[in-house]
Amino acid sequence: MSGWRGDAAAVFCLTFDVDAETPILARGRRFTGHAMIMSHQSYGPEIGVPRLLDLLDELQVPATFFVPGWVAERRPGLAARIAERGHEVAHHSYSHRPAASMTPEEERADFERALAVFADQGVEIVGFRAALWEATYRTPELLAEHGLRYDSSLMHEDRPYLITTGRGEIVELPVHWSLDDWEQYAFLPEPHVGAVIESPAKALEMWRWELDGMRRYGGLFNLCNHPFLTGRPGRVEALRRLIEYAQQSGDVRFARCRDVAKAARDDQTLTRRVLEPPTVDPEVYPLP
């Protein structure tokens, strides 16, 4: 084996964002009084996660579960149960409020509050995914400062790369909207989180095309699913068929994010980036 992919044509990181109620509460705490909305979200950790864990056991596939600290704190034992099944638990903010809308002090406080929850529960954390993927230019250095090894929020490439910060390097495991079930399945009358419920067959077709593309170009197929969405029965069937398709291809390797990040750190051929915002002419691009 050589390089981050080893002898595989593509690497499949199957990831689940166990958001539960947090994306809705981030829109306003008034939604705590709306029983339908809260039940729609709690379906994820209560029904979706156990169902998906059983699927992963059956197909013998490792996965990474990104869990907000608020969710782990209010459901003691959830993160530990995931880890006990052989999967990775990773940091997904505390509140699921997007870092891009926070001050530096707020981002740090939210980040460290989640770390404290996982430390109290004895759950080792080495990776991070920003809420809504809305990382800031500060985020990578914050991760490096606290000893985390990777982020999975940005979209520069379709292979891992290294981000150089003032506190050291971290690995970036890039994502993309085309590999997110939220764009396919998310719907609520209020708050607006999506307006169309697609057929699982459409999502399966799209993801098969994306996987085949990653196999051709030697990429990272970093699929982001949400247990309150993909945990629904028909969608689990689509995910099952996708996993079986990847297994039958014979050239796709499944791996937890932490394991891909470890292999990427040892790959001297990967791109190194220093993240800086673009310089723009304020007369051309005025603030709104």
CB 2 within 8 Å of CB 266? no
**Mind giving me the DSSP string for 222-237?**
EEEE-HHHHTSHHHHH
- Given this model, what pLDDT does residue 272 score? 96
For the chain, what is the mean pLDDT? 97
Please state, in angstroms and rounded to a whole number, the distance separating the CA atoms of residues 63 and 78.
Answer: 15
- Given this model, what pLDDT does residue 23 score? 97
pLDDT tens per residue across span 9-21: 999 999 999 999 9
pLDDT tens per residue across span 213-253: 999 999 999 999 999 999 999 999 999 999 999 999 999 99
Residue with tokens 């068929």: 241
CA angle 238, 244, 245 (to 5 degrees): 90
3 state DSSP class of 153: coil
- Given this model, what pLDDT does residue 2 score? 62
pLDDT tens per residue across span 72-89: 999 999 999 999 999 999
Please state, in angstroms and rounded to a whole number, the distance separating the CA atoms of residues 153 and 136.
Answer: 10
- Given this model, what pLDDT does residue 147 score? 98
Tokens of 250: 């014979």
Residues of the chain with pLDDT under 50: 1
Please state, in angstroms and rounded to a whole number, the distance separating the CA atoms of residues 19 and 28.
Answer: 15
What is the number of other CB atoms lying within 10 angstroms of the CB of residue 12? 25
- Domain boundaries defined on the chain: 10-272
Q: What value does the CA radius of gyration of the chain take, rounded to a whole number of Å?
A: 18
Cβ within 8 Å of residue 213, ≥6 positions away: 219
CB 152 within 8 Å of CB 15? yes
Identity of the amino acid at 221: F
Q: Look at the domain 10-272 and name its fold.
A: TIM Barrel (3.20.20)
- Given this model, what pLDDT does residue 1 score? 45
Closest CA to 173 of 111, 258, 68: 258
DSSP state of 45: I
